[in-house]
Structure 1
Amino acid sequence: MQQQQQAMNQLSKKYPVFDIVQKETYIQFQTLCLVPLDLPFDSPFEGQVLEITITLTNRYPANSPSVGVAADTIWHPNIDFYSGSVSADMLNSSWNPNTEFVTILEDILPALLITPNSMDPLNPEAASQLKQQEQINDNQDENYFLKEFQNIIKSEEQSCSQEQQKCSNDPEEKINKSEGQTLYETKAKIIMSHKHINYAEIMKKCGDKIPEYFMDLLKKHNYC
């Protein structure tokens, strides 16, 4: 148990360690995890202080520690709501024996909380809710993009007659609306054939709300 004890002592230099239980086959203790305040987007966990339980078996550090939160406290796709068990790649299949506890508390757990993996859930209901919310967010982003894109289309159509020499007449770029292709995808391709369009304006106004199909077109034509 020497390695387990050393790892726990190292953690205690920066974080509180309490409720220590030591058995022949494992050491279990509790500590605290602070979810950062300066997140790039809103999160229900922002700024929370979580009570974390860490269990180390005799095979640590070859085997990863078992990490959990207080039961019935966190509704999250990768946390079992009833037991508090946490599932993260960095604590399972991608475990590195050189990983320090400070890294778990300051990097791995906060990253999991703010960027859940709904494809490998411990809480299927939470994962389903997350997917539904992601679809809602995608639709909102799409609607925002389409509104801005329509404004750009209108302004470009007005200037087209003055910029004809810069517009592409390449037959390969003539647009035919294929089956299943939306009107906006078609208009996106039409606009891509005009070399004078202000792509910087699109990027600036829409940012990460630009749909994937339009980003693919921008990349294809080397505009980003």
Structure 2
Amino acid sequence: MSSPKRRIETDVMKMLMSDYEVTLVNGSMQEFYVRFKGPEETPFQGGVWKIHVELPDQYPYKSPSIGFTNRIFHPNIDELSGSVCLDVINQTWSPMFDMINIFEVFLPQLLRYPNPTDPLNGEAAALLMREPKAYDTKVKEYVAKYASKDAADDDDEPSSDDDEMSSAGSFDSDDEPAGQMEV
């Protein structure tokens, strides 16, 4: 049995060597940002989100927490805090999964198949159920406004974090990212 620390290093190295753009926070392998692109053939296509990831000391036995730093319109993602409602992952998380699974399977599936019956964003859920075409339109508006490559890049200014964040519509403070959720 390998130690959680070794497993964290292995999983993060896999992410760093993948096609994903990964930025470690203060050189720590337990906190980093990953650039995530919206899945093809969905209203999220063309969007780029910066995902904040924190790995608990007990990883992989305890699931990572993830959150979107730039805004997204989706029934299972809180629009302001970026927290993700992924009960599926929380309940079925297994040490067999790794970080790549989250970005190649879990998040694309979440964006492709939203669950409006268990919403974190009631407005998105209601719109998806009542007017799916209007929902798609609003998702595309958010992608254009908040998830362009430039919008995700704006987030990278370390000193003016708060200004950039609020202009991107996020209300996280520097101390503790609001609403980071277990995945």
Band the TM-score falls in, shorter-chain normalisation: 0.5 to 0.7
Q: Is the contact made by 1:28 and 1:53 (CA closer than 8 Å) also made in structure 2?
A: yes
Q: TM-score, normalised by structure 2?
A: 0.63
2:27 counterpart of 1:29: no
Structure 1 position 116, deviation (Å): 0.4
Among residues 121, 126, 129, which one is paired with 1:128 in the alignment? 126
Q: Is the contact made by 1:77 and 1:125 (CA closer than 8 Å) also made in structure 2?
A: yes
> Once the two structures are aligned, what percentage of the paired residues are identical?
36
Among residues 82, 100, 103, which one is paired with 2:101 in the alignment? 103
Q: Is the contact made by 1:16 and 1:32 (CA closer than 8 Å) also made in structure 2?
A: yes
Equivalent residues in 2 for 1:67-216, closer than 5 Å: 67-71=66-70, 73-134=71-132
Q: Is the contact made by 1:34 and 1:106 (CA closer than 8 Å) also made in structure 2?
A: no
Match of 2:21 in 1: 16
The structure with more radius of gyration: 1
> For residues 90 and 122 of structure 1, what CA distance do their matches in structure 2 show?
14
Flag structure 1 segments of 5+ consecutive residues without an equivalent.
137-224
Q: TM-score, normalised by structure 1?
A: 0.52
> For residues 81 and 97 of structure 1, what CA distance do their matches in structure 2 show?
29
Residues 84-128 of structure 1: CA deviation (Å, up to 9, x unaligned):
111123421121221122221122111111210111111122212
Q: Which has the higher contact order (CA 8 A, sep 6+)?
A: 2
Residue 135 to residue 6, structure 1, CA distance change in 2 (3 Å): closer
Q: Is the contact made by 1:78 and 1:118 (CA closer than 8 Å) also made in structure 2?
A: yes
> For residues 106 and 36 of structure 2, what CA distance do their matches in structure 1 show?
11
Q: 1:6 is aligned with what amino acid? A: T
> For residues 79 and 24 of structure 2, what CA distance do their matches in structure 1 show?
22
Flag structure 2 segments of 5+ consecutive residues without an equivalent.
135-183
How many residue pairs align between the two structures? 130
Residues 69-94 of structure 1: CA deviation (Å, up to 9, x unaligned):
114x1011110111111112342112
Report the RMSD for the aligned CA atoms in angstroms.
2.5
> For residues 95 and 64 of structure 1, what CA distance do their matches in structure 2 show?
6
Residue 18 to residue 135, structure 1, CA distance change in 2 (3 Å): closer
Secondary structure of 1:52's aligned partner = strand
Segments of 4+ moved more than 3 angstroms: none
Structure 1 position 53, deviation (Å): 1.1
Residues 171-197 of structure 1: CA deviation (Å, up to 9, x unaligned):
xxxxxxxxxxxxxxxxxxxxxxxxxxx
Q: Is the contact made by 1:90 and 1:96 (CA closer than 8 Å) also made in structure 2?
A: no
> For residues 19 and 103 of structure 1, what CA distance do their matches in structure 2 show?
19
Secondary structure of 1:57's aligned partner = coil
Structure 1 position 134, deviation (Å): 4.7
Match of 1:44 in 2: 43
Q: 2:8 is aligned with what amino acid? A: Q
Residues 39-79 of structure 1: CA deviation (Å, up to 9, x unaligned):
3xxx32013222111110111111111111114x1011110
> For residues 33 and 100 of structure 2, what CA distance do their matches in structure 1 show?
13
> For residues 48 and 83 of structure 2, what CA distance do their matches in structure 1 show?
17
The answer to which structure has the higher helix fraction is 1
> For residues 53 and 113 of structure 1, what CA distance do their matches in structure 2 show?
17
Residues 115-149 of structure 1: CA deviation (Å, up to 9, x unaligned):
1011111112221221212599xxxxxxxxxxxxx
> For residues 90 and 34 of structure 1, what CA distance do their matches in structure 2 show?
21
Match of 2:143 in 1: none
